[in-house]
Chains A and B, each alone.
Chain A
């Protein structure tokens, strides 16, 4: 039985890397593939979890094959096709191809060949063989909602925090985090990030033993270190660095920030239209906020708050953000 979690060094030394694709390019291909799946899935009306499942297949697939061998958009289309079937929200192959065509420029769509349907069908067999029918995937989304239920405090603040954590999970789909850590660890870390950024300190939760000194995350996940959580947050925050943003092809209609597009849904935004609208507004604010975040990150890189490894420390970034931006 294959294990689907990898060490960072294995991810770096991927089949694509060994095939001459440099690390930055591979990271870009992964981002583009993931966003493509989310964009196409959302247009098809697929739920966020179907999209996320497709993205995880995509990342796993390229741990066994090179981006030079299989084009990212063909793989992405097939991952979405398969995820739809697994999550019992099937979409017709023909419809998926139509959406792909609408999202890609003609020259990019040409990678689907003369018979795109057959291309996706062939790909399905290779994909199934590669991921060995390990198709049931858990995502951090449901975990974050579960944890949020345990948190006690101002309802509106909690909602805001969960909203932001949700957006970070959306964005984390573009990273290889799903290849490194279980969904509960990713969810906890990104909830931590959201809690820091929304300045909502989680001090009380259901089942907390009065007088205990343990932190909320210790109550959720066993043995999760601050170092690990910060590393995970960094991997998501790195997405917002300007060099990452500039280079990406944008197959979708407008060059949006990734955080601007939650795949197909909000976290329990209450269900009423007005509340949903408010949630969307918050997200729009948030993308401005992330823009600010890049600047801050960039700014910090040039200051003396550097950690020994040359990058600004996590806390220093958060500190800086607190000063610069109020959301």
Chain B
């Protein structure tokens, strides 16, 4: 329990640090956001209009006041307004975040099913034909960048074979079947690399655990092969597998950008790319903050999961 509180405290501290850094980053950068925003056409903007915008964005107030103001907003769940269309950023994020999470969840599900099962099979028959073929495929899966997979998948499955639409999004409530069909391609695309990662971790974890003394004990007890594999080997191999999965899911929180772009999936990343292109500082800050908070939260959840999986951690 004490461990849990301590870990929770560290997570809260990290979130605060991240928010502060993102806030400071905007300040440390040369150039005035208001001027940059208005000078997009190329011509120098009218100083009076720049001044107006600075006022409107609160950029004329002292740094500390702005900082406290934005931190207070963050606590209330207020992330400010978009400089592009004036819409509240928190609302936009609330609409798009679930779509991104759904994509990541579906990809993780496919990857765990494919990667853990093939990884175990490869380890059991290490050195055999299946192991060699699967290991080679995993090497390939890790080497192909996600946007290449996505683009080629569209070319093959959507353009040539015409099996699925090239991309897009339909809310689940509107048409569940179509929603899932549209989910399949982007999720499958992410799963190519992630399954390969899961395969590798599972394979090496199973091989390593197999050599442990307690597996020898399990053999000496006369347990069946299936029971040794599930209860003794996989149960322990799960610990590194879960760690690596969580690390990768965290990376995916920002990494779906490319896949969402390729498949026109209106998730959080699309908002981010638009905001980056349009130099919409409040929107960029909002999205980066939300994702980083999720990232920190995820790491916290993993640590808790760790303690559940490995009883030794609880006392460490």
Please determine whether chains A and B interact with each other in the same assembly.
Answer: no
Which residues of chain A have a CB within 8 Å of any CB of chain B? none
